Amino acid sequence: MTDLSCPSLVTYQGGLTLSRIVAGMWRMNEWNLTPQQRVEWIEQALAMGVTSFDHADIYGGYGVEATFGEALALQPALRDKMQIISKCGIKLVNEARPEHTIQHYDTSASHIIASAENSLRQLRTDHLDLLLIHRPDPLMNFDEVAGAFQQLKKDGKVKHFGVSNFTRHQFESLNRRIPLATNQVEFSPLYVAPMFDETFDGLQDLGVAPMIWSPLGGGRLFSSDDATGVRVRAAIQKVADELQRPFGSVVFAWIMQLPSRPVPLTGSGRIAAVKEAVAATQFSLSRSQWFEILRAARGHEVA
């Protein structure tokens, strides 16, 4: 169950505790920071209470974990102040992996274990706090995945496990075999499917908080000029003006108001953007304001 005693933390199934806002590292290599600047960025995030950092083996063409690890090597004491999340299961065609001839999924036990061990080397740490299967694999064997997770836990290499982009049934099938901490899914005012396809309902029923990637629609909330984008942006801005809060803060607050207590990821290298996300933990929308944004997102009134 989620921990309601501290607004800046969420305690997941199995005892994993993450910050209420998670720093997404997907584009870290695009931020063009020196190793020392990366250390400073991490320190600023930690100072705001953003203690959880989301990675995947494939991010930055298999390069972001090493970039982050270089910063940790400069300031090893930071590791004890944070939680590191990573994902595995996608094989990209990339110059860093010349043996890959087709983009595909691999959730075999051997790949899960090898990928986790490589993430540890790249991140320069002895354990991951949370490891996720990145995408559901048509060839995924639930028993085999659970076995790989159990082995990694037994070896002390990964403390907790979860999935990403899984349907409710896929989550529950694996969760019956080994406790899963979370399901990281796409959700924003421009993509509300998890609210209506049982993803959030199923997680709330189990007391599992979802993690949210692309909460700002990959930036499209700020720039999309199609009818939906314009309509949703206007509704959010109206609420932002009423509350005298930043536009981005209102979006994060809208997401976090769901009863499953979603935990959104930031994706920006701008500390100011992370601050806006953190500020969203300090206020909530009225029910009418919340539904104004939902109405704009769906393009119609509730029945």
Secondary structure of residue 182 in the 3-state scheme: coil
**DSSP letter string, 7-69:** TTEEEPTTS-EEESSEEE-TTGGGG---HHHHHHHHHHHHHTT--EEE--TTHHHHTHHHHHH
State how far the Cα of 303 lies from the Cα of 300, in Å rounded to an integer: 9
Rounded distance, CA 235 to CA 296, Å?
6
pLDDT in tens, 3-52: 433 446 778 777 899 999 999 999 999 999 999 999 999 999 999 999 99
Q: For residue range 55-94, what is the model confidence (pLDDT) as tens digits?
A: 999 999 999 999 999 999 999 999 999 999 999 999 999 9
Active site residue 105: no
In contact, 120 and 126? CB cutoff 8 Å: yes
Query: How many angstroms separate the CA atoms of 77 and 269, rounded?
Result: 22
For the chain, the average pLDDT equals: 95
Helix H or strand E segment including 91: strand 90-91
pLDDT more than 70, % of the chain: 97
Residue 246 and residue 284: Cα distance in Å, rounded? 13
Task: Using the predicted structure, report yes or no on whether residue 172 has a pLDDT greater than 80.
Answer: yes
Catalytic residue among 59, 62, 105, 191: 59
The reported pLDDT for the residue numbered 171 is 98
Residues 6+ positions from 246 with CB-CB distance below 8 Å: 240, 276, 279
Give the pLDDT mean for 257-283. Answer: 97
- Compute the residue count for the chain: 303
Mean pLDDT of 142-161: 98
pLDDT score for 8: 66
Q: Decide: helix, strand or coil at residue 204.
A: helix
pTM above 0.85, yes or no: yes
Alpha carbons within 13 angstroms on the beta-carbon side of residue 232 total 26
CATH 3.20.20.100 domain position(s) in the chain: 1-181
Cα–Cα distance measured from residue 34 to residue 71, given in angstroms and rounded to the nearest whole number: 9
Q: Give the separation between CA 9 and CA 28, rounded to whole angstroms.
A: 24
- For residues 133 and 107, the answer to whether their CB atoms sit within 8 Å is yes
What SS3 class is residue 261? Answer: coil
User: CB of 52 within 8 A of CB of 217?
Assistant: no
Q: Can you identify the CATH homologous superfamily of domain 1-181?
A: NADP-dependent oxidoreductase domain (3.20.20.100)
Q: Provide φ and ψ at 272, rounded to 5°.
A: -60, -35
